[in-house]
Amino acid sequence: MAFLFDLLIAFLIVVGSVFLLVGSAGLIKLRDLMTRLHAPTKATTLGIGSVLLASMVHFIVVRGAVSVHEILIMVFLFLTAPVTAHFVAKAHLHEHMRDGSELPPTERDSGWSTFDPGPGAPGESGTRPGPRGDAED
């Protein structure tokens, strides 16, 4: 039984380490930032979750008591990784703004929703006027 627990802990540690490596290798292999965002926010989070599970099982075997710290760290990381990814993507889009002039006309009263306020939207939308330059404030 102890051998089975050792096997489970070692398996979880190895799987988590491999996922950490894959996530960090994706950081340097992929092309630009919007594709690079996928590697750390998915693979690395999964790897750290596996490492925390291994630590939990290990301390259950060693101490005979369930520790809640790992669950706390796991929940915090799994909740904050998408928020971090969203913020990084938003800041990247904010840095590399296009003017939208390469887009075809929409043949409607309103422009493209990424660049112009949509129909019925409140006046405050983006940080720039649209491609047609008629963003009224």
The least distance separating another protein from the CB of residue 132, rounded to whole angstroms, comes to 25
Question: What is the C-alpha to C-alpha distance for residues 137 and 119, in angstroms, rounded to an integer?
Answer: 14
**Interface residues with another protein (CB under 8 A)?**
6-7, 9-11, 13-14, 16-18, 20-21, 23-25, 27-28, 33, 36-37, 40, 44-45, 47-48, 51-52, 54-55, 58-59, 62-63, 67, 69-70, 72-73, 76-77, 80, 83-84, 87-88, 90-92, 94-96
Nearest distance from residue 90's CB to another protein, in Å? 6
Closest distance of CB 91 from another protein, Å: 4
Provide Rg for the chain, Cα atoms: 23
- DSSP class of residue 21 equals H
Task: Please say which residue, 17 or 110, places its beta carbon nearer to another protein.
Answer: 17
Measured CA to CA, the distance from residue 3 to residue 95 in angstroms comes to 54
- Beta-strand ranges (E) seen in the chain are none
- Which residue type does 14 have? V
